[in-house]
């Protein structure tokens, strides 16, 4: 996935994407910050790219909101540490969670260098405003994260955030040199989060 | 031999009843956690491991330290420790029991715990931790029990025990090494990302465990007719002295590397623990207390005059135990999670039910420990013709 | 040599055994004669009209849990969502959207037997009965 941050200036620009994601995936809203569940959310530059922040970052980037989500890493540490293969990498590269199998040890949360994972500290159902019957909720005691809309990809649709992005997000097969994402990557300078860790994030940012 | 645990003085029954009461309270809280979820704890999205995992980490150390009595006796034929190897092994049994329980109470879906066996994943360090912990528990139960039985019957221990005993020595090192690998192999967690983490864990283990064993020996001497022995206690005290010194040395190595290199991702966690970060520093007084306790204990233990004074030794051992407990049981785990990978500072403080559950697990450990020590000591008394 | 035939504390042991036997059989004699009649799950009109489920009725009755377990692994882990039954009919493997689409009345169909057998499958902790969602 490539995120063109030039087209997403303010938090308002990100809202439709976050909203649709929360809605179709039955993501609860908790009062207690400790219990928060986040799949797709906004962060400032210094949090999105910690230690990559130049001293004199230009004003636009400094106050901008960046879209934050699971990086579906090529060498995903969460997959490496999972003791039950509840987190696994699909052949197409998507890192998925099998909620049926997760024992809730939260090793994956410690392993993820991007803070992309959330844990169900309690039953989420009473905290879901409007339930989408086409997608399951989660049960207490399992970890969850962005699934790149695997359920939509299965029926030939684009991830919901991509669809709601007005062209700011490009999604496709990074291994296919003719794909739309590769074309965008070829013609733009992009950065990734914490590249030095060798995890190989699949989410690129045009800044 | 188990029947030895059923008879005892009023004090013994009172102590067991008190432990059962604490276990009861902890269990009630656990039932609450079981139905509500881990939301009753202070853990959060950012600090996703807390008090339970920290206790687990600390107790793996106590368990591993049995090797400090087993190794000198069986490998170097240091006869004096023959009297107390059983105490070390039984302490290990009680500690590993607590470790396994602490992992269990930390699970979000405890009913699915067998998934670890149904879908074995050798790429996960947790899978290996399960193997080494359960193996170590089994080894120490079998070895401790059979050797004690042989002593009671006044025969030599069975021949097949020897290889198991030798195996238990590297195995003890492995449990704490693997436990350190849980943390130090994670990219993006600067605090733990250090090759010296396993050695640090082992050094603090070999300080805390034997220090606790010394205290237990003193209690046994006071309450029963069996005397673990002055020489034994002094030898253990030397082990504690050097282990705690090495532990502090390792920590200083860490401090040097982190601050001389000046890499923020590594510095921030230590800063958070010792001076606070972005105005948050709940652990600052604890960490300094821990450091002071460790330094004081070094002075008391290395100096032969103070070490040989058993009253001072008791103080020194408590100092070591509390100091290493704060270091590992409070700072080591939440320190690694603050600041979080996105550099937000969200602190962690355990909640009351969380602490009560932890106390319940500790009480189960002490119950197991009391039963096993009661058996061992009663038999030692019998063998010595004291009973 | 002690007399091997002598039983110590005979009275206490026998009394203890009796109490133990009574206690562990308690659920049986307590519920004696109170067995509820086995419920007959009610088929919805849609299910009746369809005549055949994914597999024959007898198989579904005894093995629907295994089938569902297989389905969930295939969908989640292998990204295959279409199931073809032995007679060649294709189904989208989804509890909420395929099973419950036909068996509209979860309460009359699933729950009836589950309650009787006192099983609480955790499917419903996440998967939604579309009817309840409305």
Does the pLDDT at position A9 exceed 60?
A: yes
The pLDDT score that the predictor gives to residue C49 is 84
How close is the nearest chain B Cα to the Cα of A47, in Å?
Answer: 5
For residues B104-109, average pLDDT = 97
Cβ–Cβ below 8 Å for B121 and A77: no
Least confident of A67-81, B53-67, B179-193, B372-386: B372-386
Chain A 106-125, residues with CB within 8 Å of chain C CB atoms:
123
- For A61-96, the pLDDT digits (tens) are 888 999 999 999 999 999 999 999 999 999 999 999
Contacts of A142 in chain B (CB under 8 A): 108-109
Q: What is the ipTM of this complex?
A: 0.93
Distance from C-alpha of A148 to C-alpha of A137, rounded to nearest angstrom: 16
d(CA A184, CA A181): 5
Nearest chain A Cα distance for residue B135, angstroms: 18
Q: Which residues of A touch B45 (CB under 8 A)?
A: 34-38, 109, 115, 118-119
B372 at A interface, C-beta within 8 A: no
Entry field: residues in chain A: 207
Contacting partners of chain C (3+ CB pairs under 8 A):
A
A contact residues 151-170, partner C, Cβ 8 Å cutoff: 154
**C127-133: long-range contacts at Cβ-Cβ below 8 A with a sequence spacing of 24 or more?**
C127/A136, C127/C95, C127/C96, C128/A131, C128/A133, C128/A136, C128/A137, C128/C96, C129/C96, C129/C100, C130/A133, C130/C96, C130/C97, C130/C100, C130/C101, C131/C100, C131/C104, C131/C105, C131/C106, C132/C106, C133/A131, C133/A132, C133/A133
Local structure of residue A90 (DSSP, 8 states) = -
Q: Is B209 exposed, middle or buried (0-12, 13-18, 19+ CB in 10 A)?
A: buried
Check residues C34 and B185 and name the one with the higher pLDDT.
B185
B271 has a pLDDT exceeding 70 = yes
Please give the residue of chain A at the shortest CA–CA distance from B343. A47
Q: Which residues contact C1 (CB under 8 A, 6 or more apart)?
A: none
Instruction: Check CB contact under 8 Å for A102 and B127.
Output: no
Cα nearest neighbour of A45 on chain B: B342
Q: What is the mean pLDDT of chain C?
A: 86
What average pLDDT does the segment B306-317 reach?
95
Amino acid C48: pLDDT: 82
Confidence check: pLDDT of B44 > 70: yes
**Whether the predicted pLDDT of B387 surpasses 80:** no
pLDDT band at B276 (very low <50, low <70, confident <90, very high): very high
User: Domain of A101?
Assistant: 2-206
**Is residue C1's pLDDT more than 70?**
no
Measured between alpha carbons, how far is B250 from C29 in angstroms, rounded to an integer?
Answer: 66
> Could you identify the residue written with the tokens 């990559």?
A52
Choice among A107-111, A185-189, B260-264, C81-85 with the minimum mean pLDDT: C81-85
With a cut of 90, say whether residue B266 has pLDDT above it.
yes
SS3 B3: helix
What's the CATH number where A55 sits?
3.30.70.20
pLDDT of residue C52: 83
Binning pLDDT at 50, 70 and 90, where does residue C38 land? confident
C36 close contact with A: CB closer than 8 A: no
List the structure tokens of A143. Answer: 């970890």
Q: What is the pLDDT of residues B146-161, one digit of tens each?
A: 999 999 998 999 999 9
| Mean pLDDT across A174-189 | 95
pLDDT at residue C131 in the model? 76
Chain C interface includes A23 (CB < 8 A): no
Q: Which residues contact A136 (CB under 8 A, 6 or more apart)?
A: A26, A99, C96, C126, C127, C128
Mean per-residue pLDDT of chain A = 94
Averaged pLDDT, B309-322? 96
- Computed over every residue of chain B, the mean pLDDT equals 94
- The C-alpha of A41 sits at a distance from chain B's nearest C-alpha, in angstroms, of 13
For residue C81, which residues of chain A lie inside 8 Å, CB to CB?
Answer: 154
A126–chain C Cβ distance below 8 A for any pair = no
Q: Which residue of C has its CA nearest to A85?
A: C77
Contact of C96 with chain A, judged by CB distance below 8 Å, is answered with yes
- Residue C130 — pLDDT band, cuts 50, 70, 90? confident
Q: What's residue C8's pLDDT?
A: 84
pLDDT at C42: 81
Tokens describing residue B312? 């001072």
* Phi, psi angle pair for C18, to nearest 5°: -60, -50
Per-residue pLDDT at C2: 54
Residue of chain A whose Cα is closest to the Cα of C70: A100
Nearest CA in chain C to A101: C73
pLDDT of residue C4: 66
In this structure, what DSSP letter does residue A197 have? G
Query: For residue range C106-125, what is the model confidence (pLDDT) as tens digits?
Result: 888 888 889 888 899 999 99
- Given a cut of 90, whether residue A147 has pLDDT beyond it is yes
Q: How far is A184 from chain B (nearest CA, A)?
A: 27
In chain B, whose CA is at the least distance from the CA of A36?
B45
Domain chopping of chain C, boundaries: 45-133
| Percent residues over pLDDT 70 in chain B | 99
d(CA C17, CA C9): 12
In chain B the domains, ranked by start, together with CATH numbers, are 2-199+236-380 (1.20.1630.10)
How many separate domains does chain A show?
Answer: 1
Q: Decide if B59 contacts B98 (C-beta within 8 A).
A: yes
Token output for B74: 């069986």
- Whether the pLDDT of residue B65 is over 60: the answer is yes
Q: CB neighbours (10 Å) of residue A174?
A: 18
User: Which of C76, C81, C92, C99 to mutate against chain A (most A CBs within 10 Å)?
Assistant: C76
pLDDT above 80 (res B301): yes
Query: Is residue B93's pLDDT more than 80?
Result: yes
Using N-to-C axis directions, what is the helix angle for B125-152 and B85-106, rounded to 10°? 150
- Does the CB of C101 have a partner CB in chain A at under 8 Å? no
Is the CB of residue B7 less than 8 Å away from at least one CB of chain A?
Answer: no
Q: Check pLDDT > 90 for residue A60.
A: no
Phi first, then psi: what are they for B277, rounded to 5°?
A: -135, 135
Alpha helices in B153-193 (DSSP H): 161-184
């Amino acid at each position: 996935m490539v995120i063109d941050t030039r087209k997403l200036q303010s938090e308002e620009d990100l809202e439709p994407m976050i909203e649709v994601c929360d809605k179709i995936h039955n993501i609860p809203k908790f009062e207690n910050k400790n219990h928060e569940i986040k799949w797709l959310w906004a962060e400032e530059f210094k949090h999105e790219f910690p230690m990559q922040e130049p001293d004199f970052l230009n004003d636009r980037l400094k106050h901008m909101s960046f879209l934050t989500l699971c990086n579906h890493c090529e060498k995903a540490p969460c997959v490496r540490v999972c003791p039950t293969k509840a987190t696994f990498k699909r052949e197409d590269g998507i890192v998925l969670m099998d909620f049926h199998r997760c024992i809730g040890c939260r090793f994956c949360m410690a392993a993820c260098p991007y803070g992309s994972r959330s844990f169900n500290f309690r039953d989420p159902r009473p905290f879901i405003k409007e339930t989408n019957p086409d997608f399951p909720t989660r049960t207490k005691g399992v970890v969850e994260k962005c699934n790149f809309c695997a359920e939509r990809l299965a029926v030939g649709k684009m991830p919901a955030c991509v669809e709601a992005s007005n062209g700011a997000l490009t999604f496709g097969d990074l291994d296919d040199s003719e794909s739309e994402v590769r074309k965008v990557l070829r013609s733009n300078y992009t950065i990734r989060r914490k590249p030095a860790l060798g995890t190989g994030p699949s989410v690129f940012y045009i800044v | 031999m188990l029947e030895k645990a059923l008879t005892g003085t009023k004090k013994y029954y009172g102590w067991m009843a008190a432990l059962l009461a604490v276990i009861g309270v902890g269990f009630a809280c656990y039932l609450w956690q079981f139905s509500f979820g881990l939301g009753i704890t202070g853990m959060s999205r950012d600090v996703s491991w807390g008090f339970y995992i920290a206790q687990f980490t600390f107790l793996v150390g106590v368990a591993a330290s049995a090797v400090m009595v087993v190794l000198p006796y069986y490998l170097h034929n240091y006869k004096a420790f023959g009297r107390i190897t059983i105490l070390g092994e039984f302490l290990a049994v009680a500690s590993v029991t607590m470790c396994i329980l602490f992992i269990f109470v930390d699970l979000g879906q405890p009913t699915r715990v067998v998934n670890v066996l149904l879908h074995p994943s050798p790429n996960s360090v947790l899978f290996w931790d399960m193997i080494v912990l359960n193996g170590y528990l089994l080894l120490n139960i079998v070895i401790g029990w059979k050797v004690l039985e042989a002593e009671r019957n006044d025969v030599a221990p069975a021949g097949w025990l020897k290889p198991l005993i030798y195996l238990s020595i590297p195995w003890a090192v492995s449990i704490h090494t693997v436990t350190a690998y849980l943390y130090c192999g994670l990219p993006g967690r600067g605090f733990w990302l250090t090759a010296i983490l396993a050695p640090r864990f082992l050094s603090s283990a070999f300080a805390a465990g034997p220090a606790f064993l010394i205290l237990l020996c003193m209690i046994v001497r006071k309450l029963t007719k069996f005397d673990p022995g002055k020489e034994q206690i002094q030898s253990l005290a030397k082990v504690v002295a050097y282990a705690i010194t090495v532990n502090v040395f390792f920590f200083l190595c860490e401090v040097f590397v982190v601050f001389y290199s000046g890499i923020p991702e590594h510095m921030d966690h230590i800063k958070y623990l010792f001076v606070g970060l972005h105005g948050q520093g709940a652990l600052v007084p604890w960490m300094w207390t821990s450091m002071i306790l460790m330094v004081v204990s070094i002075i008391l233990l290395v100096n032969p005059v103070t070490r040989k004074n058993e009253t001072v030794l008791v103080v020194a051992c408590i100092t070591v135990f509390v100091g290493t407990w704060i270091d590992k049981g409070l700072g080591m785990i939440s320190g690694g999670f603050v600041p979080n990978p996105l550099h937000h500072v969200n602190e962690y403080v355990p909640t009351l039910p969380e602490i009560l559950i932890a106390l319940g697990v500790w009480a189960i450990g002490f119950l197991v420990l009391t039963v096993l020590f009661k058996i061992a000591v009663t038999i030692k008394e019998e063998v010595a013709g004291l009973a | 040599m002690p007399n091997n035939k002598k039983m110590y504390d005979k009275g206490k042991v026998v009394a203890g055994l009796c109490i133990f036997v009574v206690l562990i059989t308690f659920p049986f004699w307590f519920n004696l004669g109170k067995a509820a009649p086995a419920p007959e799950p009610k088929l919805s009109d849609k299910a009746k009209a369809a005549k055949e489920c994914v597999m024959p009725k007898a198989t579904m009755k005894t093995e629907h849990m295994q089938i569902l377990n297989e389905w969930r692994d295939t969908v989640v882990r292998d990204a295959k969502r279409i199931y073809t039954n032995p007679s060649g009919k294709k189904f989208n493997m989804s509890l909420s959207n395929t099973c419950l689409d036909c068996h509209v009345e979860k309460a009359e169909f699933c729950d009836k037997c589950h309650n009787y057998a006192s099983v609480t499958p955790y499917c419903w902790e996440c998967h939604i009965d579309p009817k309840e969602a409305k």
